[in-house]
Amino acid sequence: MLSPLHIYSLNESAVTIKFGDIISEDILAVVTAYDQYLNAKPFQGMTATVPAYASLSVFYDPLKVIESDLVGVDAFERVQQYLSAIKIDNNTASGSKSDIITIPVCYGGDLGPDLNDVAMLHDLSTYEVIKLHTQAICTVYMIGFVPGFAYMGGMNKRLASPRKSTPRKAVPAGAVGIAGEQTGIYPLQTPGGWQLIGQTPLKMFDASRKQPSLLKAGDRVQFKSVSIEEFNQLKGGN
């Protein structure tokens, strides 16, 4: 059977479906549609999926797969057959837009030490940077790097900024940063090279929650500027 999907083996218990080589909303919609389909209708032995910019990886227990009704000489072939038979119509792939999640951010000052640099780089006032950052509806392309780190596209391109030449040794949890055309939020204190323009009081990742990561791939996000008082109040409420 000719496979229209590009599927490769990641290891003995995972395959990756590759949908393209670029970051785009259209590809994200296809990745999300396959991800939702598989999580609604997992094959026997499937354990997890990992959606990324233009790929979806599917993890499984090879013993359960070879003991299943799926057809193929080995676990890889059986999973490949199952994935190739999935029919995603264009309406499912583009029609289901998620609700917009609002993320409060206190911009500038100690919480956003690179806000001035980003403003100067683009010949904007800090007020304009905040306005552009809060106006856009961003899309979560992928959760990666550390637990709960959301890579988001859709930021106003006028704010695109290079990573810092020397990464910081410790970026605080909640820091909102820019790298290239993407924006993201550090869920834990980690080293990091993104330009930090603000901080959210929300806990982006909490292992004790049922859904530990606040965001998931495919979510739509809008930032909202809050004062330091509101930030402290919201943070205290966590």
Partner 1 sequence: MRITFIKPGLLTTVQDLGRHGYLSQAVPVSGVMDTLSARLANIAIGNDENAAVLEFTYSGATFRADDDMLIAYSGEGACLSINNKILPSDRPVFIPQNSVVKSTGNALGIRTYLAVAGGWDVPEVLGSRSTYLPAAFGGLQGRAIHAGDVLNACEPSELNLKIFESLVSSKVHHQPWLVGKGLLSKAQRSVIRIMPAAEFRWFSGSSIADLLTEPFTIGLESDRMGYHMEGRKIQRVRHDELLSTAVAPGTIQVTGNGSMILLMADCQTTGGYPRIAQVAAVDLPLCSQLKPGDAVYFEAISRIEAEMLYIEREYLLKEIAASVRAKFL
Q: Which stretch binds partner 1 (CB under 8 A): 41-49, 80-88, 101-109, 118-126?
A: 41-49
Helix (H) or strand (E) holding 71: none
> How is residue 84 written in tokens?
């190739």
- Which 8-state DSSP code applies to residue 73? S
CA-based nearest residue to 146, from 185, 174, 175, 188: 188
Binding part of the chain for partner 1, among 42-50, 90-98, 105-113, 160-168 by CB under 8 A, reads 42-50
Does 44 interact with partner 1 (rule: CB under 8 A)? no
Rounded to the nearest 5°, which phi and psi values hold at 138? -95, 160
Record the tokens describing residue 71, joined without a space. Answer: 């057809």
From the CB of 48, what's the least distance to partner 1, in Å? Answer: 5
Q: Which one of 28, 43, 45, 51 is in contact with partner 1 (CB under 8 A)?
A: 51
* Dihedral angle computed from the Cα positions of residues 78, 46, 54 and 84, in that order, rounded to the nearest 10 degrees: 30
Our finding on whether 137 is near partner 1 (CB under 8 A) is: no
Least distance CB 117 / partner 1 (angstroms):
24
Over the window 72 to 111, marking each residue x when it contacts partner 1 by CB under 8 A and - when it does not, the resulting string is: --xxx-----------------------------------
Element (H, E) at 49: strand 46-51
If binding is defined by CB under 8 A, does position 50 make contact with partner 1?
Answer: yes
Total residues in contact with partner 1, by rule CB under 8 A: 48
CA 84 to chain centre: 25
DSSP state of 180: B
| Cβ neighbours of residue 138 closer than 8 Å, sequence gap 6 or more | 152, 153, 154, 155, 183, 220, 221, 222, 223
Q: Is 190 in the site for partner 1 (CB under 8 A)?
A: yes
Site string for partner 1, 140-169 (x = CB under 8 A): --xxxxxxxx-x------------------
The Cα 96–Cα 20 span in angstroms is 21
Q: Interface residues with partner 1 (CB under 8 A)? A: 8-14, 16, 18, 21-23, 35, 47-55, 57, 59, 62-63, 66, 74-76, 142-149, 151, 188, 190, 205, 207-208, 212-213, 216-217
